[in-house]
Amino acid sequence: MRGLRVSAMRLHLWIGLIATAVLCGGHAWAEEGGALRTAPLMRGTLWWITYEDHAAWTRAEFDAAIGAQQAVGFDVLWVLNTPQIFQKALDTEADGECKDLMGLVYDVADGRGMHVLADVPKGGWYGQTIADEMCDTIQQFVVQFHDRYGEHASFYGWYLNHEINPIAPEDKAQSAYWRGVWRRVVETCHRTAPGSVVTISPFFLLDEPRRRGFVYLAPEQYAAWWGKTLEATGIDVLMLQDSGEHLSFFTLEQREPFFAAVAAACREAGAEFWVNVETGEADVADWDEFLALSREGTTPWRFTPMPWLEKKLRLAARYADGIINWGYFPYMAPGPSSGKVQSGRQDAYAAYKAYFERMRNAGASLPRLPQSDPAK
């Protein structure tokens, strides 16, 4: 009899979860314990492409690499080092033998229905480069890059590759600098490629004693800075790194206040909030061990173990409109190799693929990707 009552309870729970998912209109995925804002699945990863490493790749090799990502549910290709490989395409084209790696990426992505985010040049740095000079560098790149690739169906948007440390509230000059630069760049991106999105992926620091000397901001302070910045710039998507130092001992309880605060700030500013869930981490027990090993240059890195990764994904999914990733490269990407590292990557890829298929079979699906808002 007790077994029947338990089965009935589970049935009622499952019916309730299905109803929740239906009522959410596909924008949240329900699971035991409550409705998540999005499915606990990654939709893309940071892909560092270099001319030195990838110039010899064929279209088939790019297709295989992108196909492997698509097979675990990714629909976004987030490409880093775009300025270098774009310049190489221009240089080799002038020499009569064009090797256009971004062209290959866009071509394959077009055929697979993927979406490409490309980073823009840094253009300099605060304290070293005047704002006008940085803006000119980035704006010229945006126009030239779009002229070459903007007609691709997979052309989706831009990534501001400025990973700045948290800024002290009293540092008004630096805040004004970044907000002014980003506002002008975002306006150029939206004007040049209407509907394209502009993204950024900042980090917070879980180091209140400032062991490493960097400014610490509490979650509310950090969120307030980014809320004002999003309102001032029109950035479409903030992709918050799920821990600034990539350290395995940080708990979910330490991360969650930052997720909650920044998510609220993003929505108040009219931006999407994504979480950049890391699948690579420094395997250390505490701050003392990390600092000692980092001084020696012997910090051990690993693929985030799948049970721990699943918990990180579920926490992110409670607050995020989408989940992006750092760590697929180099810790998960499959590929032919007889080396020990490659064997570990294959195992990690297989573990996540099994998780992805389990979630998909349970009804998880990704929401539609956003477009920029012309009203901003």
Q: Is the domain of 207 the same as that of 343?
A: yes
Instruction: Answer whether residue 250 is part of any domain.
Output: yes
Query: Rounded to whole angstroms, how far apart are CA atoms 11 and 126?
Result: 58
Number of compact structural domains in the chain:
2
Reference 37, options 200, 273, 372, 352; nearest CA is 273
pLDDT of 29 reads 55
pTM flag (> 0.95) = no
Same domain, 14 and 159: no
Count the neighbouring beta carbons within 10 Å of the beta carbon of residue 219: 18
Shared domain check, 12 and 53: no
CA distance 313 to 42: 8
- Does residue 376 belong to any structural domain of this protein? no
Domain of 223 in residue numbering reads as 41-361
For residue 245, what pLDDT is reported?
Answer: 84
Domain membership flag for residue 218: yes
Task: Verify that 20 and 92 share a domain, yes or no.
Answer: no
Residues 50 and 183 in one domain: yes
Residue 78 backbone phi and psi in degrees, to 5: -105, 100
Answer whether residue 99 is part of any domain: yes
* pLDDT number for residue 93: 87
Residue 217 in 3-state DSSP?
coil
Q: Domain check: are 185 and 301 in the same one? A: yes
Query: Sign of the C-alpha dihedral, residues 164, 167, 171, 175?
Result: positive
Asked whether residue 375 is domain-assigned, the answer is no
Angle of CA points 77, 82, 88, to nearest 5°: 130
Residue 271, classed as helix, strand or coil, is coil
Neighbouring C-alpha atoms within 13 Å toward the C-beta of 281 = 24
> Does residue 13 sit in the same domain as residue 115?
no
Q: Are residues 252 and 348 in the same domain?
A: yes
Measured CA to CA, the distance from residue 17 to residue 135 in angstroms comes to: 49
Who's near 257: CB < 8 A, 6+ residues apart? 219
Q: DSSP characters for 175-190?
A: HHHHHHHHHHHHHHHH
CA dist 28 and 39 (Å) reads 7
Q: Is residue 217 part of a domain?
A: yes
pLDDT (0 to 100) of residue 373: 74
What is d(CA 62, CA 64) in angstroms, rounded to the nearest whole number?
A: 5
Q: How many CB atoms lie within 10 A of CB 132?
A: 11
Length of the chain: 376
Strand partners, 80: 48
Residue type, position 220, single letter: E
Cis bond leading into 330, ω under 30°?
Answer: yes
Q: Are residues 153 and 29 both part of a single domain? A: no
Between the two ends of the chain, the Cα-to-Cα distance in Å is 60
Q: Does residue 210 fall inside a structural domain?
A: yes
Separation CA 330–CA 341 (nearest Å): 9
Tokens of 286: 């505490």
Rounded distance between C-alpha atoms, residue 252 and residue 249, angstroms: 10
Identify whether residues 169 and 264 lie together within a single domain.
yes
Distances in Å between the Cα of 375 and the Cα atoms of 80, 179, 226, 228, 236 are 28, 19, 20, 17, 12
Rounded Cα distance between 86 and 81, Å, is 9
Q: Omega into 209 within 30° of 0, i.e. cis?
A: no
CATH of the domain at 191: 3.20.20.80
pLDDT in single tens digits along all 376 residues of the chain: 334 333 333 333 333 333 334 333 344 555 544 589 999 999 999 999 999 999 999 999 999 999 999 999 999 999 999 999 999 999 998 887 889 999 999 999 999 999 999 999 999 999 999 999 999 999 999 999 999 999 999 999 999 999 999 999 999 999 999 999 999 999 999 999 999 999 999 999 999 999 888 999 999 999 999 999 999 999 999 999 998 789 999 999 999 999 999 999 999 999 999 999 999 999 999 999 999 999 999 999 999 999 999 999 999 999 999 999 999 999 999 975 434 444 689 999 999 999 999 999 999 999 899 998 766 6
Q: Are 240 and 275 in contact (CB under 8 A)?
A: yes
Residue 2 in domain? no
Tell whether 224 and 317 lie within a shared domain: yes
Question: d(Cα 179, Cα 26) in Å, to the nearest integer?
Answer: 34
Residues 23 and 65 in one domain: no
